[in-house]
């Protein structure tokens, strides 16, 4: 396959990581709670919020992930705590907000980033697999958002919520029926809660990433990409994949006072992947042919 990067420039690379797009005190004294903030994109966003002065609360299940998240925030010069929490359990969610308040005061920004996903044809997906993914993504975002909003209203403080979706949220996602349905539910929540909570001073936006390689991609996602995630640039009109700090910049803008009138918005950052069409579409390949055979089928 031809390497079109030899012939076309593609979209330019962003400024390097570590550069700030907003004033350095944008989040000074503010508390940002990020579910799944210890790995991948959550960790990248935590780092950018910390660079702008935020106190960070990393909320997820694994102690190992807590450690990597805390180290990344500290390396950026920020302060963070990590709290063990499963987003599917509203009591654990409430306890996490209690701990955040004890450490840093009422939470100002909530990033609903935690997710689970694995590619599988819909007919092979077990009820447990369906419930796991929709529970983390949809139930988790709802429980965290409501806990956050109740506390903002009680404290008489404004707030901002950012829901991390995916570029396929509004289209088809063969092999990802569970994830796509859950993310579409969160997009619906974004719109509805933006309207319900604007009078209370709470903004609700979504950020939909395209392909952003990082070191924490799980084995299920990597199996489909034997050449690695970086090679996915071939599938993006930009002729490159996203850099995780680009997402951090978008997140810090959308939750900042500079976006005070932006709410109910789904901001996509994907190098035009979502809109990609060819002059003549390639062959339609059934999902079973696209995925490696499952153990039971092999
Ligand atoms: P990731 O590294 O696997 O992150 C998922 C995070 O969710 C982990 O830190 C995990 O932490 C946490 N989590 C999972 N189940 C949880 C639960 N029940 N309760 C609390 N936390 C839980 O994946 P990622 O690529 O960074 O994805 C982050 C977000 O970006 C997701 O919403 C994903 O859909 C979206 N996204 C990613 C890409 C991409 O290219 N990477 C593209 C589009 C959208 P623990 O294991 O510690 O619980």
What 3 state SS string does 39-76 have?
CHHHHHHHHHHHHCCCEEEEEECCHHHHHHHHHHHHHC
Place of tokens 């719109």: 191
* Spacing, Cα 203 to ligand 1 middle (Å): 22
CA-to-CA distance for 66 and 46, rounded, in angstroms? Answer: 12
> Is 38 touching ligand 1 by the criterion CB < 6 Å?
yes
242 lines ligand 1 (CB under 6 A): no
Atom of ligand 1 nearest to the CA of 211: 40
Ligand 1 atom with the smallest distance to the CA of 64 is 47
CA nearest ligand 1 atom 1, residue: 40
- Percent of the chain topping pLDDT 90: 88
Of the residues 34, 41, 180, which should be mutated to test ligand 1's pocket, given the most ligand atoms within 8 Å of the CB?
41
Q: Which range has the top average pLDDT, 172-181, 213-222, 228-237? A: 172-181
User: In the structure, what pLDDT confidence band is assigned to residue 226 with cuts at 50, 70 and 90?
Assistant: confident
Which residue out of 33, 35, 39 has the highest number of ligand 1 atoms within 8 Å of its CB and is therefore the one to mutate? 39
Full set of structural domains in the chain with CATH: 25-272+283-290 (3.40.50.720)
Take atom 34 of ligand 1 and give the residue whose Cα is closest. Answer: 115
Mean pLDDT value across the chain:
95
Q: Categorize the per-residue pLDDT at 298 as very low, low, confident or very high, splitting at 50, 70 and 90.
A: very low
Q: What is the pLDDT of residue 297?
A: 53
Q: What is the pLDDT of residues 173-182, one digit of tens each?
A: 999 999 999 9
Nearest to 190 by CA among 164, 209, 167: 164
How confident is the model at residue 231, as a pLDDT?
85
Q: Where are the alpha helices (DSSP H) in the chain?
A: 40-51, 63-75, 90-104, 127-134, 140-155, 177-197, 219-223, 244-254, 287-290
- Ligand 1 atom nearest the C-alpha of 38 is 9
110-129: average pLDDT = 97
- pLDDT (average), residues 7-19: 95
Q: Which atom of ligand 1 is nearest to the CA of 136?
A: 18
pLDDT-derived band at 1, boundaries 50, 70, 90: confident
Average pLDDT value for residue range 74-82: 97
Report pLDDT for 224.
72
The CA 113 to ligand 1 mean position distance, Å, reads 6
Cα gap 117→177, rounded to integer Å: 10
Is the CB–ligand 1 distance for residue 88 below 6 Å? Answer: yes
- The stretch 44-57 carries a mean pLDDT of 98
Choosing from 33, 35, 36, 224 the residue with most ligand 1 atoms within 8 A of its CB, the one to mutate for a pocket test is 36
Quick check: is 229 catalytic?
A: no
pLDDT digits (tens, 9 = 90+) for 148-200: 999 999 999 999 999 999 999 999 999 999 999 999 999 999 999 999 999 99
Q: What is the pLDDT of residue 219?
A: 72
Ligand 1 atom at shortest distance from the alpha carbon of 137: 32
The active-site residue, picked from 8, 27, 168, 258, is 168
**Atom 44 (ligand 1) nearest CA:** 166
Can you give the pLDDT at residue 295? 62
Residue pair 31/109 in contact (Cβ under 8 Å)? The answer is yes
The token pair that represents 260 in the structure block? 């005070």
pTM of the model: 0.96
Query: Quick one: DSSP state of residue 199?
Result: G
| DSSP strand pairing (159-164 vs 109-112) | parallel
């Amino acid at each position: 396959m031809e390497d079109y990067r030899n012939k076309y420039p593609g979209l330019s690379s962003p400024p390097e990581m570590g550069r700030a797009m907003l004033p350095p005190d944008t989040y000074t004294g503010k508390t940002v709670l990020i579910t799944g903030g210890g790995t991948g994109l959550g960790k990248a966003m935590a780092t950018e919020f910390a660079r702008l002065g935020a106190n960070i609360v990393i909320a997820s299940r694994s102690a190992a992930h807590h450690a990597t998240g805390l180290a990344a925030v500290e390396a950026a010069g920020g302060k963070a705590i990590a709290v063990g929490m499963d987003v599917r359990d509203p009591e654990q969610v409430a306890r996490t907000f209690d701990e955040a308040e004890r450490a840093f005061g009422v939470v100002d920004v909530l990033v609903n980033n935690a997710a689970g996903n694995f590619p599988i044809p819909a007919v092979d997906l077990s009820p447990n697999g369906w419930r796991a993914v929709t529970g983390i993504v949809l139930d988790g975002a709802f429980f965290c958002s409501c806990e956050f909003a109740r506390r903002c209203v009680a404290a008489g403080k404004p707030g901002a919520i950012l829901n991390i979706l995916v570029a396929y949220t509004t289209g088809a996602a063969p092999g990802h029926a569970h994830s796509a349905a859950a993310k579409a539910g969160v997009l619906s929540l974004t719109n509805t809660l933006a309207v319900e909570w604007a009078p209370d001073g709470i903004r609700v936006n979504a950020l939909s990433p395209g392909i952003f390689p990082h070191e924490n991609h799980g084995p299920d996602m990597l199996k489909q990409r034997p050449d690695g995630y970086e090679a996915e640039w071939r599938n993006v009109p930009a002729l490159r994949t996203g850099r995780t700090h680009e997402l951090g910049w978008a997140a810090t803008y959308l939750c900042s006072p500079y976006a005070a009138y932006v709410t109910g918005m789904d901001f996509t950052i994907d190098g035009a992947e979502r809109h990609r069409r060819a002059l003549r579409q390639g062959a339609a390949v059934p999902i079973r042919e696209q995925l490696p055979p499952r153990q039971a089928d092999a």
